[in-house]
Structure 1
């Protein structure tokens, strides 16, 4: 297991049919351990432990339809009203974060209109706040912390 640029979280593992599995607390099941999944599970821990987003607000690896095309997102954090607070794109640690990777999440976000975007390969993390009025975004040092009354801390 590769060390990633996240705090030292604990995970549950098991082996089944000669495959290593890691437990996903959001999907409530063991999934095949792969480099991108290792990053995804760290992001889930980051969102829940460090940023205090409730499990009930997080969705992992779901399909969506954008311009009649089926796409899959890695992680979405919803607001209580159903709008999207954070859209996350995870890549394996060997994948460099490039403009093409940003274009992928940006194309997903055209219809989703998330407040924040996160792109990570587990080693490098990029966060930005969207400003739809100005058709712009601002890079941030980190994501905001969840707050029950929805004031961003």
Structure 2
């Protein structure tokens, strides 16, 4: 897999049915290593190791229903009170981040109401803080560290 613009992390790999799998610490299982999964696993490590998010407050690839359609978000980091701190949308490194990507995470966030949004393809990262009163968002340089 290609080098991403994240720090280098140690991952566990194994081969299963002629496919390379990576261990997901959150789901506690090996999953097929596709380009988007490579990005997702880097995001999880980044949130835990660089930003101090507890593993117990991170969810990966959970289903949600939007207008009777079942969707799956990539990564959610919760606050201690159970509300959502950060919603992350991951794309494969060869997928360009477009307005469509921001529309997708915005649709998910209409249901989830996260404080922060992160969109990444592993090479480019975009961070936003939601302002629900003004009905807009503000771009940030980084996602904030987890507040204890």
TM-score in terms of structure 2 length: 0.98
Q: Which residue is 2:138 aligned to?
A: 138
Q: Which residue is 2:64 aligned to?
A: 64
TM-score in terms of structure 1 length: 0.95
Q: Which residue is 2:10 aligned to?
A: 10
Aligned residues: 148
Point out 4+ residue stretches in structure 1 off by more than 6 angstroms: none
Q: In the alignment, does 2:41 pair up with 1:41?
A: yes
Q: Which runs of structure 2 are paired with 1:4-153 in the superposition (5 Å)? A: 4-148=4-148
> How many angstroms does 1:67 deviate by?
2.0
Q: Distance in 1 between matches of 2:101 and 2:30?
A: 27
Q: Distance in 2 between matches of 1:105 and 1:147?
A: 23
Q: Which runs of 5+ in 2 are unaligned?
A: none
- Kindly report the root-mean-square deviation, in angstroms, between the aligned alpha carbons of the 2 structures: 0.6
Q: Which runs of 5+ in 1 are unaligned?
A: 149-153
Q: Deviations over 1:33-67 (max 9, x none)?
A: 00000000000000000000000000000101122
Q: Distance in 1 between matches of 2:56 and 2:68?
A: 28
